[in-house]
Each structure stands twice: as structure tokens, then as C-alpha cells.
Amino acid sequence: MKILVSNDDGYTAPGIEMLYEVLRPYAELTVVAPEVNHSGASNSLTLNRPLQVRRSSNGFYVINGTPSDCVHIALTGLLDFKPDLVVSGINNGANMGDDTLYSGTVAAAIEGHLFGIPAIAFSLTQRGWHHLDAAGQIALEVTRRFMAGPPATNVLLNVNIPACPIEQIAGYSVTRLGKRHASQPVIPAQNPGGETVYWIGPAGDARDSSPGTDFNAIGNNRVSVTPLRLDLTHDLQLGAVERWLGDGT
Ligand SMILES: Nc1nc2c(ncn2[C@@H]2O[C@H](COP(=O)(O)O)[C@@H](O)[C@H]2O)c(=O)[nH]1
């Protein structure tokens, strides 16, 4: 089993080192990860400058680009093989509900999925790497279950892991994405030149954490596994928009 490993926190992040360590006895791993943290990068590709690839001392491929750049370059030329699975993470913080639209961690998995490769994004739901060892065990368990027998379809899984000791993890829940309230207000500040600058405010709290959502599973110390799809077409609105727009004749 050949697994491509990436992340968005950067190649030196504890989360990707943990993912590498727990998976290496069970699969042939190739790590292609960003040089620096790209949290919030979403699916951005770098098109306005060339990208450089170097090898770190531990053999990781390191790219001065986004998470999507890393997986894209790996799959379109850097690697001379097609991985059996793409895994991304373990992220420093949750990727639940609307986070998935901004998340670089999820984006790296999406890039693999776009190339027809099953993909899994792993996120530890509290920042600060607390209980990362437990999260590593969960990531290994999910990946090994995949290796033992992949699901019937080409999955793109968003896995959020509660930040608690392994013995307090209550099980797995297959979930739908919940929803957050709008992000909190921007945070203005002054730079040394006296100009006002702005920090993006914190994410909104959960707005939909009803049973069956990722938020609800995590709130009950259960690992949340959400299958994602990429088709953004709003099927239910097709007729209404056709009636509104007409066909121009
Ligand atoms: N509006 C804000 N959203 C935030 C902030 N910190 C995190 N986030 C959300 O979480 C994900 C992190 O995922 P990553 O895989 O990109 O690291 C990010 O994408 C946002 O959705 C914040 O301070 N403000």
C-alpha cells in the first residue's frame, strides 16, 4: 500500500510527524508537505510563481507552496507512481462544518480525490496538540481499516478526533457536516508604521450541532467521520433559477 502524506501545518508540524510515525510500519509512505503553515489556504494553487521542491533531512519532500500545490505536484510529476491513498494531517485544530471550505488540511485530501485517489483528512479538534498520541492511534486505526478493505466507493473522508485520552474516546460516528455561526469580528491593530491592520477573527461557534453532525459526535467524545463530495451544484434550485432566468428566447 503506497500512501501520500501531506498537511497544511507544515512539514515540521507534530501532527504530520505523528501521522508518519504511526503509519510507517504498515505502508510505503511518501511525504510531500508545505514549508510553512498554510492554515486556511483552502484549495488554492500557486499559479503566479514557480515552486521549488527540496528534501528535508528526514526524507520529506518540502514545497514552498500550499497544501493543494503539494499534492498536485506529487501526483502530476514528482512521483513516478500513483498512491493508493492520500492522507492529510493530523491538523492542529478542528475542521468541522464550514471549516471544511477554508481548510488546507481538507484541501490536500480533496486534491487527491480530484485525481481519483481515496483520501482522508485527519484533524485533532483542539489546538495545541493535546493527546496527539491518541489521535495518532485513531488515524492509524482508520487507515488500517481502509487498507484491510476500502469502502465500496472512492471516498473522501473528513475525520475529526476529540482531544482526549484514547480510553475516553467513545467510538466512531459517521456524520454530516454541522454548521458554524458567522466568523467573529475582524481584529484591527496598528502596525509600527501606524497603519491599521486586520487579523481575521475567530471562527464562529457551532450553530448546528444536532445529533448526526460532526460537532455532536465530537461533543460526545466520538470520532467523527464525514464522507464529503465536491459537486457544489444546488440541484434543488435548478428549476427555480431556470424559471427566473428563462432561456433568453
Ligand atoms: N474565521 C476563523 N476561522 C478559523 C480560525 N482558525 C481556524 N479557523 C477555521 O479552522 C480551519 C483550520 O483548518 P486548517 O486545516 O486550514 O488548519 C480554517 O480553515 C478555518 O475554517 C480563525 O482564527 N478564524
- Residue the block writes with cell 444536532: 210
User: Is residue 66 in some structural domain?
Assistant: yes
Cα 186-33-155 angle, rounded to 5 deg: 85
What pLDDT sits at residue 170? 98
CATH number for the domain spanning 137: value is 3.40.1210.10
By the 10 Å C-beta count (0-12 exposed, 13-18 middle, 19+ buried), 90 is classed as: buried
Distance CA 157, CA 5 (A): 14
pLDDT tops 90 at residue 204? yes
DSSP E strands: which ranges in 8-166? 28-34, 53-55, 61-63, 85-92, 119-124, 156-161
Q: How far is the CA of 105 from the centre of ligand 1 (A)?
A: 10
Q: What is the pTM of this model?
A: 0.96
Q: Of 32-36, 93-97, 107-111, 150-154, where does mean pLDDT reach its minimum?
A: 150-154
Distance CA 206, CA 143 (A): 28
Contact by Cβ (8 Å): 115, 75: yes
Question: Per residue in 179-203, pLDDT tens?
Answer: 999 999 999 999 999 999 999 999 9
Contact by Cβ (8 Å): 79, 30: yes
Residue 125: strand, helix, or coil: coil
User: Is residue 191 in some structural domain?
Assistant: no
Radius of gyration over every alpha carbon of the chain, rounded to an integer in angstroms: 19
For residue 112, the 8-state DSSP code is H
* ipTM score for this prediction: 0.89
Question: Per residue in 127-146, pLDDT tens?
Answer: 999 999 999 999 999 999 99
Question: Per residue in 51-92, pLDDT tens?
Answer: 999 999 999 999 999 999 999 999 999 999 999 999 999 999
Counting the structural domains of the chain, the total is 1
- The residue ranking higher by pLDDT, 151 or 93, is 93
Q: How many residues does the chain have?
A: 249
User: Is residue 189 in some structural domain?
Assistant: no
Nearest CA to ligand 1 atom 21: 99
pLDDT tops 90 at residue 152? no
Contact by Cβ (8 Å): 107, 42: yes
The mean of the pLDDT values for the chain is 97
What pLDDT sits at residue 40? 96
What proportion of the chain, given as a percentage, has pLDDT over 90?
A: 96
Q: Select from 103, 120, 129, 179 the residue to mutate for testing ligand 1; criterion: most ligand atoms less than 8 Å from CB.
A: 103
User: Is residue 22 in some structural domain?
Assistant: yes
Q: How many other CB atoms are found less than 10 A from the CB of residue 33?
A: 27
User: Is residue 188 in some structural domain?
Assistant: no
User: Is residue 228 in some structural domain?
Assistant: yes
- The residue ranking higher by pLDDT, 234 or 150, is 234
Structural domain for 12, as ranges = 2-179+207-248
pLDDT tops 90 at residue 151? no
Q: How many other CB atoms are found less than 10 A from the CB of residue 192?
A: 5
pLDDT tops 90 at residue 220? yes
| Residue 191 marked as a ligand binder | no
User: Is residue 193 in some structural domain?
Assistant: no
Q: Is the CB of 8 under 6 A from ligand 1?
A: yes
What proportion of the chain, given as a percentage, has pLDDT over 70?
A: 100
User: Is residue 148 in some structural domain?
Assistant: yes
